[in-house]
Every structure is written in C-alpha cells, then in structure tokens.
A and B are shown apart, each in its own frame.
Chain A
Amino acid sequence: MMNAQQQPSAVTMPRAESSPAGRRSRLSSSTAARIALIPAALITVVCFYVFVGWTILISMTRSRLLPVYNFVGLDQYKRLFANDRWWTAMENLAIHGTLFILGCTVIGYALAIMLDRITRGESLFRTVFMLPLSMSFIVTGAIWQWLLNPTLGIQDAVRDLGWTDFVFNWIVRPDRAIYTLAIAGIWQQVGLCMALFLAGLRGIDPNIWKATRVDGIPTWRVYTNIITPMLRPVFFSVFVLLSALVLKSFDLVVALTGGGPGFSSDLPARFVVDHILNRQELGLGAAGAFMMLCTIAAVVSPYVYYELRTPRKEA
C-alpha cells in the first residue's frame, strides 16, 4: 500500500494532474492485483472444488469404466462400507499413520538432540541420516522389499551367520505386513524431521542453556521441561508435514508389498486407484476418494482452526 501511494510523486507530472492520476494508478494497481490473481483463483476453484464436486457426483452414479450419469443415490457408499478390503485399508491407514508419525517424530527428535550435543562428525551424521530422503518412495520400497524378504534379506543373512532359528518375516505375514510399511516410511522420512528439529534446537537462545547450568538443572530435565515446550511450533510443522505424507501414501505400499499378502497391507489411496483404473469401478472408487477427503478434513480441520485463530490473537 505504501508503494502505491508513493508512486505518483515519483512520476514527473504537472502538479495539477497529479491527484487524479494518483487515484487512477491506485485503482488500477488494485485491479491489476485482482486480475493477476484470477488464474490462480480459477485453478483453485476448478482443480479443487469443481473436481471434488464432480467426484461426489460420480460417487452417486453406477459408473463403471466411463463416467455415466445414472444416479443410484448412496448405493456405492453402501457397497463400500460392506467391503472388507476397504475397512482393512482404513484400519491400516490408522496403524500406519500413528506409527509413522510417532516414529518419525520421536526418532527424528532423538537424532537431532544427539547431533546438537556431539561436537565431531556432525556433518557426516547429518548426511547419513538425510540420505534416504533423496530417494523416492518407489526406491525405498524396492530396497526394503529385498531386505525384508525372508528368503533373501535380513532373516536369511542372520540365519547364515548361525542363528538358524531367527525369524523376521513380517512382510509375508498378513497380520504384520503393515508394520513393515511404517519401518520403511520412518527410515526414509526421519532425516527430514531430524533436520527440522535440529534447526529448532539451534534457534534456542544460548543464554537459556547458560542459565540452566548456573541453576544446576540436569540436561534431560532441560530438554523435557524447557526446550521441548519451546519447540512446540516445530513439532506442529512436523506433524502436519507427516500427516500429509501418510494420507497420500500410495507409492510406498505399491513398491513394498503391493498391498499384500492378499490385501492385508492395502491403503485407501491404493484401493481407490485400483478400483478406478483397474477394476472399472469408477463409482465405487469415487466414493472411496470422497471418504478419504472426509478423513483428511477430520484430521486437518483442527489445524486450520488453529491457524486461522492464532494470527488474529497476535495482531
């Protein structure tokens, strides 16, 4: 606003004309801003709201291979809720989500504290922990698929060393396969969390440490009672970032287990893609997609509420 007001005086113009010209340029600059925002607004409206609306519409039809508009009400949702595979996928999302977010946060924070305290080789460790992040979920999935395969990977290697009773076959056990997904996911994303926490720790005022030392407070108490509460915003960012990764996780499960054994490690995103593209169940897939949106909304709306409220309080 300041710039727009200053502009007329900078332009060399006869004094008599300066005032209307100034108003005109102020007007046009705000119009220009609005015009400039039109494409972005259009893209948001079309790509988000229109498509969401269209998906909901499709979910109420009998569409199979191609979209057709013969409405059947909530039939597709009834079918979806009667589908074992869907509930397995939702349950897996909950298990994977909790483990992945908790694991990444706890381990990432522990690593960050460790790096913050050591004086030597920090850059080496940082590189090591950050390295998995440079790989895509597909590559991560492929690596862990080999490592976890009982006849090729860790189990086989340990047995070759002499522990012939060693068992680590989670990836082939329907009741455990979902945990391998969390292992591979944490392995990949923990570096990112570590980096964020490390940045947070480095931002702590050194005087606080000096003061705690003067008071003779043990280090672990400083971390639990003083530093961790101070890092609340960082924890929050990490949580939001990881939640987004969990909800859209698709490629990792495709590469790691293919949803198997059977469909025991299926996730909603894979269920939806599978039904829309491979099974020609466009309607059912759309219903699943809308349920995913509802899940996301349930998780994200507290965050949005928080975000919208805080700045106003500060202002």
Chain B
Amino acid sequence: MRALNASVGLVSAVLLGFSAAAQAQTAEVLHWWTSGGESAALDKVRAAYKAKGGTWKDTPVAGGDNARAAVVNRMIGGKPPTVFMFSIGKQLEELAEQGLVGDVQDAATTGKWDAVLPPLIAKVAKYDGKYIAAPLNIHGENWMFYNTAALEKAKVQVPKTWPEFITAAKALKAAGITPIALGGEPWQERILFNSVLLGVGGRDHYLKVYGQLDDAAMRSATMLEVFKTVAALREFVDEGSPGRKWNIAANMVMKGTAAFQFMGDWAKGELVAAGIEPGTAVGCALAPAKDKGYIMTIDAFAFSNAKDKASREAQKLMANIIMDPAVQIAFNKSKGSIPVRTDVPSDSFDVCARLGMETLKDPKAQLASSGLFGLPSAVSGAIDDAISQFWNTRTMTPEQGRALFIKTIASAK
C-alpha cells in the first residue's frame, strides 16, 4: 500500500512537473517595433503575456522589410519563431499555402472573433476558413499631422481640400516654415501619394486603382489630376528629405520647423513618447479629401506551424492576449492606433483615435492599403518604385508619371 502510495506520489509529481513545464509557455516573438513609441506599446502586450505565466523571448529586427525577410528565411531554414509580426495579405497567404503557418482557430472560436472584428479584417485574417493571424490594431495611413503654432504663424487654416492645402503651403513657405516634413523613403512617399489619390480621386477611384488595378481608372483624367497635385507638392519639401526616417520627420513637426506631415497614425506614438498630447501642440486631421475614407493597415501577429504541444499552447495564449479587450485598449493608446475589436469603448482614447473610430463606423469609409487588397508584394513594390521615381525626378511631367505608373504595374503583374 505504501509502495502504491509512493508510486502514485511519484507519478503525480512527474505529472505536476510536466504540467509546470507546459505552463512555462515560451514564445519567441519576432517583430519590427524598435522605435521608442513602438517598443513602449509592445511592452503592454509583453507584460500581459508574462502576467499569464508565459515566457517571452524577444527577437526584434529593425525595419518591416528586414523582419519579414528574416521570418521567411527562418521558415525555409526550418527554425521559425513561435509568433511573428506580419502584415496580413498576399504574402502571408502564400506562406500558408506552403503549409508554413499554423492556425489559432481554437482561440478564435472561444473568443468569438468573428462577432467582434470588422468584416474586412475577419476575411483577410483567415486562410481556408481558419484564423492564421491575430490582428492587434488598425492603423490609419491617410492622416495629416500639423504644428498648430506654425499654422497660426503663417495665418492659415487646416486645409480641407488639396487646392486649399497648396495655398496654405505657399503661405507657410513664405513664412519660412517647411510646409511638408517628408521622410524620403519610397514607402513614405507612397503614403503621401495615396493620400492624394484618395483625396483628389475619391473612394471609388481609389478602390478601382488599388482594389482591381483597373486599367481605365489608371488612364483616366482623374489619375492625371492626382499626378498633377503630387507634382505640385514637390516644392514644399525641404532639401534634407531623401533618406530621412519617418520619426525624424515627425520630430520636425513637433519642433515646428515643419508644418505638416502625412503619415500613418503611428506618428502619434512618437508624440506620446515626447510627452505631447495629440490634438494640442500637434493636431491631427484626415488628409484633405473629397469624401471620407480611412486607409487601414493592420498590424497582426501570425503563428508558425509548430508541432510540439508547448509551442501550440504558447501560440494560443498569445492569441488570447492579443485579442483581450484590456490589452487592446492599453496597447492601442500607447501605439497611436485604434483597436480591431469593435466592442471596445472609445472614451478613454485621444481625439485623433476617436475621430478614426468614428470614421470607421461607416463601412464605405473602410478602405485598405494596397497589401490588404491582396496585391502581391511584387506589384506593391513596383508601385513604390513608380511613385518614388516620379516624386524624385522633378523633370518628369504628370503625363509621364501616369504612364510610368501604368507601365510599372503591368510589368510586375
């Protein structure tokens, strides 16, 4: 009897030990959030994950492109990180097609993700009917940040249309203020371009160009108008722009040496990190536009196709943490974005975020950046090339720019 007791004790001790080991869920998390504001925001998720007993092994890789490349390389090499930040879209789909991505459908079913996520996001986060990514936030790309003091100095109002903006920019330039703080990297130039595309062309035009790569839309007079407006903006950027990082450009607006920045709302994270309340010294508005639209980008974490139970558990815990309403609020307030959950109260957010959440209530305003429309990265890369070449070649006319845009997309398809 004693022997039996002893063996039961031993077995349960072993089991306890085993389950304790399983409890210590170690997740290697690969991400590209390395700037001050970004890493402070990620800390909220990290803290929540640790509070639930998980072990977080941090693998930061600076730069989204580099980080995505690192993930793909490690997958091909057979040692993928447990959880990795990734953009939802064609690229993740291709990884899933090759069986390299795991699903978190269990967590999604229990957490009723289908009911709380906006339909567009729920659709793109799934592959083969199962969630392969846990969306963390919605970023708006078509924001315009401005230094209120600089605008007052030049006696201009926050512009509502692009012609108004050009008038305001002339006044600012005359007052010795750089009208647009632009980071001269292709993706930043694309953000400015897309704001003009939506603002001058309108929602339907935007959807035709990026959603369907519609040839007629790209050849239209509207498109020429878009290129004309972009060309007119070239003179409002300072000399130091090429190669500048976005957070340096944000800093110029904070200091008041520049008046406007067209950037995603992640720039708010930099404001918060610098101790500025969004909507005060630095104000925010959606970029000038014909009709309301919110160009969404979604930050999401995806999961590698892990076979061992411990990793699966770690992934499940991570999925639950990411979609936890409290984490969503804490994280998004710090990151400058808005929650993906539609059932989260907006009252504790800043003015800009509330404006974003308000805008998104209209389903027609739910637009997306090119990746979410399912454009292959080769095509979106080619779009970047064309925009960047047009922006930086001052001698290129709007007609030539439009032709280049069409030609580049056609060759990348």
Residues of A within 8 A of B (CB): 64-66, 79, 82-85, 145, 149-152, 169, 171-172, 174, 177, 257-258, 260-264, 274-275, 277-281, 284
Contact = CB atoms under 8 A, between A and B. Distances in A.
Contacts of B69: 277-278
A278 B68 contact: yes
A172 B240 contact: yes
Contacts of B381: 274-275, 278-279, 281
Interface stretch (B50-58, B141-149, B192-200, B387-395): B387-395
B115 interface: no
B377 A280 contact: yes
B98 A263 contact: no
A66 B94 contact: yes
Contacts of A172: 184, 239-243
A65 B72 contact: yes
Given A82-B411, A279-B377, A280-B376, A257 B238 contact: no
B131 to A, nearest CB: 21
A54 B68 CA distance: 24
Interface residues of B, number: 31
- Tell which of B242, B377, B378, B381 has the most Cβ of chain A within 10 Å: B242
6 contacts: A79-B411, A82-B411, A151-B238, A262-B391, A263-B389, A280-B376
B65 interface: yes
B74 to A, nearest CB: 12
Nearest to A82: B411
Contacts of A263: 186, 385, 388-389
A171 to B, nearest CB: 7
Interface of B: 65, 68-69, 72-73, 76, 91, 94-95, 98, 184-186, 238-243, 376-378, 381, 385, 388-389, 391-393, 408, 411
Given A145-B243, A152-B240, A260 B378 contact: no
A172 B240 CA distance: 7
Contact of A261 (B68, B242, B376): B242
A247 B387 CA distance: 28
Interface of B is mostly: helix
Contacts of A65: 72, 91, 94-95, 98
B389 A262 contact: yes
Contacts of A262: 186, 385, 388-389, 391-393
B239 A281 contact: no
A85 B407 CA distance: 13
A174 B94 CA distance: 35
Contacts of A278: 65, 68-69, 377, 381
Nearest to A148: B243
A261 B392 contact: yes
A164 to B, nearest CB: 14
Contacts of B72: 65, 277
Contacts of A260: 184-186, 242-243, 388, 392
Nearest to A174: B392
A257 B378 CA distance: 22
A275 B381 CA distance: 9
Q: Which 4 pairs show the lowest CB-CB distances between chains A and B?
A: A151-B240, A262-B392, A277-B69, A261-B242
B101 to A, nearest CB: 12
A66 B239 contact: no
A151 B185 contact: no
Contacts of A82: 411
Contacts of B408: 84
Contact of A280 (B91, B385, B388): B91
Contacts of A150: 239-240
Contacts of B94: 64-66, 280
A72 B270 CA distance: 47
A65 B86 CA distance: 14
A150 B178 CA distance: 14
Contacts of A277: 65, 69, 72-73
A249 B241 CA distance: 24
B90 to A, nearest CB: 9
A257 B392 CA distance: 13
A171 B411 CA distance: 29
Nearest to B63: A278
A149 to B, nearest CB: 5
Contacts of B242: 171-172, 177, 257, 260-261
Contacts of B95: 65
A245 to B, nearest CB: 23
Contacts of B243: 145, 149, 171-172, 257-258, 260-261
Contacts of B392: 174, 260-262, 264
A281 B393 contact: no
B151 to A, nearest CB: 22
A199 to B, nearest CB: 38
Contacts of B238: 151
B119 to A, nearest CB: 27
A281 B382 CA distance: 11
A13 B381 CA distance: 75
B116 to A, nearest CB: 31
Contact of B98 (A66, A151, A258): A66
Contacts of B68: 278
A64 B240 contact: no
Contacts of B241: 172
A66 B98 CA distance: 9
A313 B179 CA distance: 70
Contacts of B376: 64, 280
B391 A151 contact: no
Contacts of B91: 65, 280
A84 B382 CA distance: 11
A100 B181 CA distance: 34
A98 B26 CA distance: 53
Nearest to B244: A149
A258 B63 CA distance: 13
Contacts of B186: 260, 262-263
A78 to B, nearest CB: 9
A155 to B, nearest CB: 8
B65 A66 contact: no
